[in-house]
A and B are shown apart, each in its own frame.
Chain A
Amino acid sequence: MTRSTIQDPGSGYTSHNVASIVQLDSVSKLYGTFVALRKITLEFEAGRTYVLLGENGAGKSTLLRVVAGLLRPTHGSIRVFDQPKPADARDRIGYMSHAPMLYDELSALENMHYFAGLYRERPCLLPHQALEAVSLDPALARPTGQYSQGMRQRASLARVLLPQPDLLLLDEPFSNMDAASARQMLALVQAQRAAGKTIILTTHQRELAEPIADYLLTLQAGAVASLVARQPEPRRPEAVRP
């Protein structure tokens, strides 16, 4: 049983039963005078799925980008996989943003070959395996710029899965999708959860992501409003294959 204990409502949340792989200590992020994150103290446990909720501008994407090492905290410190700089652990982190982070002019398979080349020092999935894992046909020759939004998001997830990261940071993976595509994406995320990956996912579609969440983390105006441990659906890989 892993339950988070609230140390100081509104500022600090930690749990100590499972090894944490991300630790934020009083992390704040300012853009000029705008405070995007306010003194966030959190620990993210290995193998858990965290669903980040909150309104637009609550700081969800900024928090993910800080954990990914794409933004430096203005104040406070962060450790990811015991590295004081998340960038030093970047080969173990998979980050998927709102945008697909793929080249429009290349096919999905060409994109995968290219990105696999960037992770050549890490044991990677084969490009066609990554695409098959997200139910995309590797033989599809169309450039990704001509894909539907759902297909692009899945191709983007394939890029993230390629280097087999231990920590998945998924920013709005269900955005701009129809219901069927969103359910398909959810099944893919669920498969990663079943495989024991640590997942931090932001969404506005709480009802969609809640079934796979170990923790629901709500941000409000850059601060942690609540962190609720929940009993998610059991991890049964055979039941969640897309």
Chain B
Amino acid sequence: MKTVYCRPKCMKEAHFHYCPGCGHGVITRLIAEVVDEMELRDKTICVAPAGCGMLLYNYFDIDTIESAHGRGAAVATGIKRVRPENLVFSYQGDGDLAAIGTAEGFHAANRGELISVIFVNNGVYGMTGGQMAPTTMLEQVTTTSPAGRDSVLQGHPVKICEVYATLDGTSYLERVAVNKPAAIIKTKKAIAKAFRHQQQKTGFSLVEILSPCPTNWKMSPLDSCRWVDDVMTKVFPLGLIKETKKC
């Protein structure tokens, strides 16, 4: 008998607190798999966000530090500058990186800090009950945009990857999704690539992951996976946005 798939070694036995069908669970697992495969369990430091991913330290059996809301990139900068031999990544949602932490993320990218950011984009503030986020799409209904997001009143969705691509400090930016098996495999490769960019000191790397949020989108898990393909990828096109050097 051959084991084809089992739990990654750098995950603890704790059960996830995420809602059924949430993309966070897949992303957490993929990071653990990449860390296992790169054999960096002892050298990796994770910076956990405020938001749905805040309990990451319960799931990862790697060193994890909790940052203040939105300050993940700033905390990761500090750790990386003090301990350049470690692999440092921050895990941030759209409320964390694109709203309250805009300055920290943007300027860490502009300085070309040698950190990786895993940016989970689900278009809403998940943990607080599905309010409108900067990444909410036009006409998307949330609890604070019940008639749908209106560009006149509430502005346009923020495309973090495209904004960061204009900065000289960034070396690797890719947008991926976790809504179907092929996309999940691509996401894992993108995370591994971001970590390799960090190891080779090419600059700031960020992977934006479109992740389903069935509870706050008020859909079934399967419908939310389809909605990522049908609606979200039209606004946030998948693919490699920027890579300065092949890694």
The answer to whether A and B assemble together is no
- Residues on B close to A: CB < 8 A? none
Chain A residues with CB under 8 Å of chain B are none
